[in-house]
Amino acid sequence: MIRSPFVTALLLVSLSAPVAAADFVLDKAHTQAEFVLGGLALSPVHGKIPLRSGTAIIGADNLPTGVDATFDVTSLSTQNKIRDVDIRDTYFQVAQYPTIRFVERQAQGTPQAFTMTGDLTIHGVTKPITLAAKVDSITFVKGKKHLAFTATTTIDLRNEYAITFSPLLDGAIISGGDVTINIKTDAIEQ
């Protein structure tokens, strides 16, 4: 039989303990990766890749400590249907590699400016990356915490992820290999 003072002591200890990290889901409607593919012979190409699924653990300091986000390359859009099919099928080869995945390993800094390091998998290749990030806002909706984040990084698709962009056009490479990725997301407490 458990005695009442013992139960009371356990309750007091659990209430006085530091707040544990909470589980969050990344909101599909408010999360996407926007990219800019640098142009050499032509203007840069801008596009979006929507979120397929994502979760996060948010620490007591409001920094994410465990992001796992998967983006749907089959729905990539540059607002040009012919180019989209070419990018999806020829370069990303979505039949074999339909997603891009980021798994965070560590966050350091403050909500106003922090870095997230983790593993980015594109085209079957996984490489470590670092994103510069910040918490844009924190609010509560129906008793659940919502955090808005932005993050950015630049990667080299040609050399790091084995994606060959663009044949020569009149003897000139028409697009660069560097891609800037800007991520906006809302994390909702579950």
CA distance 62 to 147: 8
Return the closest-CA partner of residue 51 out of 24, 27, 79, 67. Answer: 27
Tell me the per-residue pLDDT of 8-41, one tens digit each, with 9 for 90 and over: 333 333 333 344 455 999 999 999 899 988 765 5
What is the domain partition of the chain in residue ranges?
19-189
**DSSP conformational letter for 134:** E
Tell me the per-residue pLDDT of 96-138, one tens digit each, with 9 for 90 and over: 999 999 999 999 999 999 999 999 999 999 999 999 999 999 9
User: Which pLDDT score, from 0 to 100, does residue 11 have?
Assistant: 36
CATH superfamily of 19-189: Lipid/polyisoprenoid-binding, YceI-like (2.40.128.110)
